[in-house]
Amino acid sequence: MGNIHPQFWGWYMGSGNFTGALGDFLTAIDGSNLGGGNTAAAMMDSQVIDWFKEKTGFPATAGGSLTSGGSMANMVAHTIALNAKAEVNVREEGILAMPQPLRYYASDQVHNCLKKALETLRLGAKSLTTVPTDNHQRMDITALEQAITDDISAGIKPACAIGTVGTTNTGAVDDLNAIAQLCQKYEIWFHVDGCIGAFLRIAPKHRHLSDGIELADSIALDPHKWLHTPFEAGCVLIRDAKRHFETLKMHGEYLQMQTHGVIAGKFLADYSFDLSRGFKALKIWMSLKENGVKKFGRLIDQNIARAQYLKHLVHESLKLQLVAPVALNIVCFRYANRKIDEADLQAINTEIMLRIQESGLAVPSDTTVAGKHCLRVAINNHRTILPDLDLLIDSVVQHGEDLENEVIDHP
């Protein structure tokens, strides 16, 4: 898609790094299968997870696993939350044996992979209540508590509340401390989808935005986003390592653990759906060793500053309109003009996006926020410099003016 280019801002992707690429190359040569084993590779895997625990404020005793990405990290966390809250041995008996249906809660901005996880677990899409958001796209905490108490009265068991640090649409950050408090009050599993924002923990100027993440029972994070690890690399952290292990451990007669030899030690597949697993840790380990965690933190701050610059350019232009507050590094705006109606606005902005993509200049994507269709620029890119954003704005306005003439004046 062009995501290693300085003017790529579509959806939400890391932009890669050369040391990480070298790590992937060496991984293929080394050939390790990280299902487990008493090897240096397995220890590096555990060390990378230990670093992530330390940075997110999780205890060293927590469990964790490197995954293919954030979707799988969320899937693992939800499986463990389900087993924790089912009140039956759900591995043995299955979900039909549960005494009460379970309910999960997330804001209406929740990422679709969480819905997919609940469907895949056969809890059904209806097991997720989407809580309304305020005008900053943050979860309405009063509405969350109301949904919880309504469910309790109706005989449904509140199982898990999901806070998002950095929503995919707009980068909104839920009030994690407030959600954690309700989870404690009603004995609910507290999951944080930190695929975008968990690494705010290492950003000196914006660390506070992720306060409360350390209170979670589980966190999904995504090194292939803000750590720029070459695809793929996600990670799930589970506070209760025993619960993590009890949910996913499984050993055939052909794979019995030993006290020494090649298969001794912690078996990583006991924390994962996958048995055979790639050596994802090396590319993360090497790029962190080369650059230092502080540099990655400064790049996060830099991305957020670039987004503020873009917001400023949008404000300056009479032809552009900001569609959502800029909380992190995502800017939602559109070409707008009072004489154009909503349907034409959508057509014009979609065509602006496609023309800019096809011209090869840049890749913005689009979305809809509070009913308004808009262009969406996610500056999760360490190669973007300010003139790149000037060019984008000039191009949006130019294409917008051309299209306005085509659509309005010559329909």
By CB under 6 A, name the binding residues for ligand PLP. Answer: 12, 69-71, 111, 113, 164, 168, 193, 195-196, 222, 234
User: Minimum CB separation from ligand PLP for residue 193, in Å?
Assistant: 5
User: Minimum CB separation from ligand PLP for residue 204, in Å?
Assistant: 22
DSSP lists the bridge partners of residue 193 as 164, 220
User: Minimum CB separation from ligand PLP for residue 262, in Å?
Assistant: 32
User: What sign results for the dihedral spanned by CA atoms 349, 350, 354, 355?
Assistant: negative
The residue assigned the tokens 């408090």 is: 181
d(CA 18, CA 229): 9
User: Minimum CB separation from ligand PLP for residue 70, in Å?
Assistant: 2
Alpha-carbon distances, residue 242 vs 64, 201, 233, 268, 378 (angstroms) = 11, 25, 24, 13, 37
Task: Compare residues 65 and 164 and give the one whose CB is closer to ligand PLP.
Answer: 164
d(CA 31, CA 357): 38
User: Minimum CB separation from ligand PLP for residue 381, in Å?
Assistant: 15
Task: Compare residues 63 and 69 and give the one whose CB is closer to ligand PLP.
Answer: 69
The residue assigned the tokens 């659509």 is: 407
Task: Compare residues 195 and 326 and give the one whose CB is closer to ligand PLP.
Answer: 195
Task: Compare residues 226 and 335 and give the one whose CB is closer to ligand PLP.
Answer: 226
CB 186 within 8 Å of CB 192: no
User: Minimum CB separation from ligand PLP for residue 187, in Å?
Assistant: 25
d(CA 232, CA 215): 27
Task: Map residue 321 onto helix, strand or coil.
Answer: strand
d(CA 194, CA 171): 11
d(CA 87, CA 410): 65
Task: Compare residues 151 and 174 and give the one whose CB is closer to ligand PLP.
Answer: 174
Task: Compare residues 199 and 335 and give the one whose CB is closer to ligand PLP.
Answer: 199
- Cβ-closest position to ligand PLP: 70
